[in-house]
Amino acid sequence: MYTEDDYLMLSGIQHFYFCKRQWALIHIEQSWLENSHTVEGQILHEKTDNPFIKESRKEIFLSRSVPVSSAILGLSGIIDTIEFRKDEEGIRIPGKTGIWKPTIVEYKKGKQKKDDRDIIQLAAQTMCLEEKLNIKIETSDMFYFKTRQRKTVSIDESIRKEVLEMSQKMHEMYNQQYTPKAEFFKNCKECSLYELCMPRITKKRKSVENYLYNIEE
Ligand code: SF4
């Protein structure tokens, strides 16, 4: 169990999945360069609107920008949108009559990614919300603006285990204030920190320095 002082940013888990060095540059060294991907993403998050749901419907309501945290994961952050539907498997909500079942709706600007970074983040959000509401949540949703697709994701035991292990590694690296070396790989081409990281040059420079000073890599 972590205390509030130890909490790391929930949104960082997608950076950690994408590249551990990127996560360390942002969350340990506080470096941040905006590129078109991050700026567009922020604008969409500010304007999130679910085209399938009207908030006035009696059996559904939305909660936006909901703060959540998990003492088990040691993460805290904000969930864009939680959709509550009247359902006997749900919970009571102060100020509302009836029983309501929550579903997270996470908005992404592009289309579904080839890797699982969005799903890892959604699973971490789900585990945080479960702790907040003291409820088991089996699925959460992703909405992709580019393809206008809403996808339901099963938050199964294997993804929960992955989130738990990843959050533990994040805390270990954070406690050691450890930033991994640059290493050029496929994700570098779409990395928002490419110019700051310079993976090809940094790697080369390190190799030359190591050769000159007889340091083993
Ligand atoms: S440029 Fe590559 S190595 Fe550097 S932070 Fe980005 S993804 Fe990681």
| Statement: residue 202 has pLDDT above 80 | no
Locate the domains of the chain by residue range: 4-177, 181-217
- Check pLDDT > 50 for residue 182: yes
Per-residue pLDDT, 186: 92
Q: Which pLDDT band holds residue 7 (cuts at 50, 70, 90)?
A: very high
Torsions phi, psi for 199 (to 5 deg): -60, -35
At 86, phi and psi to the nearest 5? -65, 120
Q: Is 174 exposed, middle or buried (0-12, 13-18, 19+ CB in 10 A)?
A: middle
Joined together, the tokens standing for residue 38 give 């991050």
Measured between alpha carbons, how far is 143 from 83 in angstroms, rounded to an integer?
A: 13
Closest CA to 141 of 106, 90, 101: 106
How would you classify the pairing of strands 75-92 and 60-70?
A: antiparallel
Kindly report which listed range (11-20, 29-38, 173-182, 201-210) carries the lowest average pLDDT score: 201-210
Q: How far is the CA of 61 from the centre of ligand 1 (A)?
A: 40
Residue 95 has pLDDT above 90, yes or no: no
Q: pLDDT value at position 88?
A: 92
In this predicted model, what pLDDT tens digit does every residue of 138-177 receive, in sequence order? 999 999 988 889 999 999 999 999 999 999 999 999 999 9
Distance CA 27, CA 78 (A): 16
Mean pLDDT for 12-22 is 95
Q: In which band, very low, low, confident or very high, does the pLDDT at 38 lie, cut at 50, 70 and 90?
A: low
Answer whether 26 contacts ligand 1 (Cβ < 6 A): no
**Structure confidence at residue 53 as a pLDDT band (50, 70, 90):** very low
When pLDDT is averaged across residues 183-194 and rounded to a whole number, the result is 91
- Amino acid (1-letter code) at residue 190: E
Our mutation pick for probing the ligand 1 site, out of 16, 32, 188, counting the most ligand atoms within 8 A of Cβ, is: 188
Cα(204) to centroid(ligand 1), Å:
14
In ligand 1, which atom is closest to the CA atom of 193?
6
Question: How much is the mean pLDDT over the chain?
Answer: 85
Report the range of poorest mean pLDDT among 29-33, 143-147, 178-182.
29-33
The whole-number pLDDT of residue 111 equals: 82
Please state which CATH number belongs to domain 4-177. 3.90.320.10
Token representation of residue 147: 């393809």
Residues 74, 10 contacting (CB under 8 angstroms): no
pLDDT reading at 55 higher than 70: no
Round to whole Å and give the CA distance between 151 and 130. Answer: 20
Nearest residue to 76 via CA among 84, 68, 88: 68
